[in-house]
Chain A
C-alpha cells in the first residue's frame, strides 16, 4: 500500500502566484481531509470530502483557498493569490469510514516569499 501521496513535497513561490497542491488518497478510502500545520496554530482542518463531495469547508481561511475532488483518487487544494502568511505544511489525510482513523500523507511544505 503506497499510502496517501502528496505532491509537490516542497513548493516555493512568490506572493501573488497561484499554488496548487495535489493529493491521492489511499485506494478504497471514501473520505479525504486537508489540514494545515504551522508553529503558531498547530494542525487545523481546512476542508473535508466524503464520497468526493465537500462536507465542511468552514476551516478554509479565505476565498483565496479552494479545494476540489473530481474523483475518488484525486484532490487539489488551490491558493490564488498566495500570500506569505500562507506559508505552512499542508497535509492531506484519508479514511475509509468515518468510524476509523485518518491516514496522513507526508505533507507539502509551502513557502511564499
Chain B
C-alpha cells in the first residue's frame, strides 16, 4: 500500500543550529504535502504545506523542499530553539476529483534540541 516514510526516528541538534528532517513517499499521484509538529500530550499542529506544482516554500524559520523526481520531502528549521523539540510528521494527500481527503502520515521524527 501507499506509505510515507521517514529516514530517521530521532534527530538531535544543538540549539541555534539548523535542522533538516527528511521524508520519502511512494505514490507519485500525491498532490499535497504537509508538515506537522506534535508536542507531548497535544494534537498535531500545522507547520507548513506545499503543493506538487511547487519545489520550495518558506515560512517563518521553516522551509519545505519537494523533489518529485526522487519522491522526497524535507523540512528545514533554521536556528533551532528549545521550543522546536517535538515529533515532526510529514503527511500527504492523494490527488482526487473533489471533496476532502484524509492525510497519510509518516511515522514521525523526534527532534531533540540540545542546549
Instruction: Answer yes or no: B24 CB below 8 A from chain A CBs.
Output: no
Residues of B in contact (CB 8 Å), total: 23
Q: Which residues of B contact A101 (CB under 8 A)?
A: 34, 46, 49
- CB closest residue in chain A, given B105: A43
Given the interface pairs A42-B108, A43-B89, the reply to whether A55 lies near B99 with Cβ below 8 Å is yes
Q: Which residues of A contact B100 (CB under 8 A)?
A: 30-31, 33, 48, 50, 55, 95, 97-98
Question: Measured between alpha carbons, how far is A112 from B103 in the docked complex, in Å?
Answer: 26
B25-54: CB near A (< 8 Å → 1, else 0) gives 000000010101000001111100100000
Residues A50 and B99 in contact, CB atoms below 8 Å apart: yes
Instruction: Answer yes or no: A65 CB below 8 A from chain B CBs.
Output: no
Return 7 A-B CB contacts under 8 Å, by A number.
A43-B105, A45-B103, A45-B104, A50-B99, A97-B100, A99-B32, A106-B43
Residues B101 and A103 in contact, CB atoms below 8 Å apart: no
Q: Which residues of B contact A43 (CB under 8 A)?
A: 44, 89, 91, 105
Interface residues of B in 59-108 (CB under 8 A from A): 89, 91, 96, 98-108
Residues of A in contact (CB 8 Å), total: 27
Q: Which residues of A contact B91 (CB under 8 A)?
A: 43
Question: Measured between alpha carbons, how far is A79 from B100 in the docked complex, in Å?
Answer: 24
- CB closest residue in chain A, given B51: A99
Given the interface pairs A91-B43, A103-B46, the reply to whether A98 lies near B101 with Cβ below 8 Å is yes
Question: Measured between alpha carbons, how far is A59 from B102 in the docked complex, in Å?
Answer: 10
Q: Which residues of A contact B36 (CB under 8 A)?
A: 104
Q: Which residues of A contact B108 (CB under 8 A)?
A: 42
Residues A106 and B42 in contact, CB atoms below 8 Å apart: yes
Question: Measured between alpha carbons, how far is A102 from B44 in the docked complex, in Å?
Answer: 9
Question: Measured between alpha carbons, how far is A55 from B46 in the docked complex, in Å?
Answer: 23
Q: Considering the complex of A and B, which 9 residue pairs feature the smallest CB-CB distances, nearest first? A: A45-B102, A104-B43, A31-B100, A98-B100, A43-B105, A101-B46, A104-B44, A42-B107, A50-B99
- CB closest residue in chain B, given A45: B102
A80 to chain B, nearest CB (A): 23
B94 to chain A, nearest CB (A): 11
Q: Which residues of B contact A91 (CB under 8 A)?
A: 43-44
